[in-house]
Amino acid sequence: MLTKGSAIMRTPLCLVVMALLQGCQYDPYANTFTTEKPQTNAIVGRYMLKDQTVVSGGLSAMQGRPSFVELAADGTFVATNVPPFVFGARPITSLSSLVSGRGAWQLDSVGGVENGTGKIKTHWGVHLGSQSPQIQSPGFTGDKPPYGLIFTIGDPDSGTVMILERAK
């Protein structure tokens, strides 16, 4: 026979079990996101691929192909072998889908990050305005210069990314 007290105790236990079975949703790179707006002069420069998790093999999977984003002080950019942006399309699953282009860049919010307190902080990044092909907008990483760039591919919780670091 169930008593009122035992039913109350089972409810939290059921919630804990359900949470464990479903798993927690969390972007594994969220702790690296830049949440304080960087100064424009601190983000101008060349960013080179440091790591990728699109396919196994890390940098060696690029087979010597360069991958970089160069943000110029005049507001223009050049990008080589970076993820495309196609609204509503499936995320890329191979490095042969990477694109190159040039255009104008703009410092802006690329999303938000919540640290468990209920407050959402702005994730700062850069919109890369290329007519064709359209290029995904990366976010900045780090809490001070030199910043890095991160392209999150598909579901952020999957951890599929391309990480670029500022060239020295």
pLDDT digits (tens, 9 = 90+) for 27-47: 899 999 999 999 999 999 999
Quote the pTM value: 0.82
pLDDT tens string 57-95: 999 999 999 999 999 999 999 999 999 987 777 788 889
- Give the C-alpha distances (Å, rounded to integers) separating 107 from 66, 71, 152, 156: 24, 10, 17, 21
Q: Of 11-15, 44-48, 115-119, 150-154, where does mean pLDDT reach its minimum?
A: 11-15
Chain centroid offset of residue 115 CA: 16
Dihedral angle over CA of 38, 40, 42, 44, nearest 10: 130
User: What's the first-to-final CA gap in the chain, in angstroms?
Assistant: 71
